[in-house]
């Protein structure tokens, strides 16, 4: 789902530059040659620089969020936001894994269909990704996650995407905040470092990604600071759905932060779930 006018992106065309991007973008392992390996962005007369904000909803499946399933009120804020946004009604991950889905979103390519985190290795991505492309247009870039830095090797992956700064759980203040999975604290933990970073970079165009953690197994979101709902008689499913409800509060809090800082109107928000989640509905 995208909030904001998509016609006003930071750049309108892609060109092949005379000089190759400074990153070594050769692939790790056997892959097809990428025709976009040396791509860059070029400004046109229509270009308006706008901030790009990716909100990565961990393990969030379409059937469990309100915009896609009106019978379940897990994400009323997301549902309201969808009414004035572009909503992708039929979107599927290429590989149902957080790490691999992030490659598709950030880089526009199919990930390697293996469990190994090949894209986090040096030279593991064969072309410049969104953050890297916009960095060369003068953007500053940052990646936040409410989970530990070692989870899925995202620190190295974010670097390969082109994010210059990376903030994980270890750099954040956990006092008075709830642990919601074995790997993460409640997503509000990202709000303070986000505000500090945004204020520090006032006046600059930026790409920011926020990777939530509340949807991670083992769904320790009942109870939480926003209370809980009885969505299902199945305990594990009910816990999962309440974690998605909690994520919805975080998305609202983050959007409110951007509004308070005067950044909302000049930002494009891309909100996506990385993959679905199996909770024994099919008898396994």
284, pLDDT greater than 70: no
| Strand-strand pairing, 13-15 and 40-42 | antiparallel
Question: Helix 154-161 to helix 98-107 angle, to the nearest 10 degrees?
Answer: 10
Confidence of residue 278 (pLDDT cuts 50, 70, 90): confident
Who's near 191: CB < 8 A, 6+ residues apart? 253, 254, 257
Of residues 245 and 25, which shows the higher confidence score? 245
pLDDT over 70 percentage in the chain:
87
Range with the lowest mean pLDDT among 5-9, 200-204, 261-265? 5-9
pTM of the complete model = 0.87
Domain boundaries, the chain: 52-273
Looking at residue 181, what is its pLDDT? 94
**Preceding amide of 223 cis, omega within 30:** yes
Is 3 or 139 the better-scoring residue by pLDDT?
139
Phi-psi region of 138 (alpha: psi -120 to 50; beta: other; left: phi over 0): left
Band of the pLDDT at 254, cuts 50, 70, 90? very high
DSSP state of 50: -
- List of residues 6+ apart from 179 with CB closer than 8 A: 185, 186, 220
Number of Cβ within 10 Å of residue 12's Cβ equals: 15
| Residues 79-109 pLDDT 10s | 999 999 999 988 888 888 999 999 999 999 9
Mean pLDDT of the residues in the chain: 88
Number of H helices, E strands in the chain: 6, 8
Output the pLDDT for position 282. 63
Query: Which of 163, 164, 161 shows the shortest CA–CA distance to 126?
Result: 161
Tell me the per-residue pLDDT of 16-67, one tens digit each, with 9 for 90 and over. 333 444 444 444 444 457 788 889 999 888 989 999 999 999 999 999 999 9
- Tell me: pLDDT of 113 over 80: yes
Structural tokens at position 21: 């991007």
Report the topology of domain 52-273: Alkaline Phosphatase, subunit A (3.40.720)
């Amino acid at each position: 789902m995208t909030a904001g006018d998509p016609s006003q992106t930071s750049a309108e065309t892609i060109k092949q530059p005379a000089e190759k991007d400074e990153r070594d973008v050769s692939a790790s392992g056997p892959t097809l040659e990428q025709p976009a390996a040396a791509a860059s962005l070029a400004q046109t007369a229509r270009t308006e620089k706008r901030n790009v904000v990716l909100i990565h909803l961990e393990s969030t499946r379409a059937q469990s969020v309100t915009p896609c399933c009106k019978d379940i009120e897990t994400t009323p804020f997301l549902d309201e936001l969808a009414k004035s946004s572009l909503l992708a009604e039929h979107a599927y991950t290429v590989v149902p894994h957080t790490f691999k889905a992030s490659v598709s979103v950030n880089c526009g390519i199919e990930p390697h269909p293996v469990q190994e985190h090949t894209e986090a290795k040096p030279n593991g991505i064969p072309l410049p990704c969104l953050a890297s492309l916009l960095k060369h247009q003068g953007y500053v870039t940052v990646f936040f996650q409410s989970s530990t830095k070692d989870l899925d090797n995202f620190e190295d992956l974010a670097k390969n995407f082109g994010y210059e700064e990376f903030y994980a759980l270890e750099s954040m203040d956990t006092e008075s905040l709830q642990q919601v999975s074995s790997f993460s604290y409640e997503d509000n933990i990202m709000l303070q470092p986000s505000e500090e970073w945004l204020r520090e970079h006032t006046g600059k165009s930026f790409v920011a990604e926020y990777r939530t953690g509340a949807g991670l197994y083992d769904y320790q979101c009942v109870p939480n600071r926003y209370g809980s709902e009885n969505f299902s008689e199945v305990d594990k499913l009910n816990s999962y759905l309440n974690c998605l409800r909690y994520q919805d509060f975080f998305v609202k809090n983050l959007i409110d932060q951007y509004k308070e800082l005067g950044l909302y109107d000049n930002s494009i928000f891309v909100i996506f779930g990385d993959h679905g989640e199996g909770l024994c509905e099919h008898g396994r």
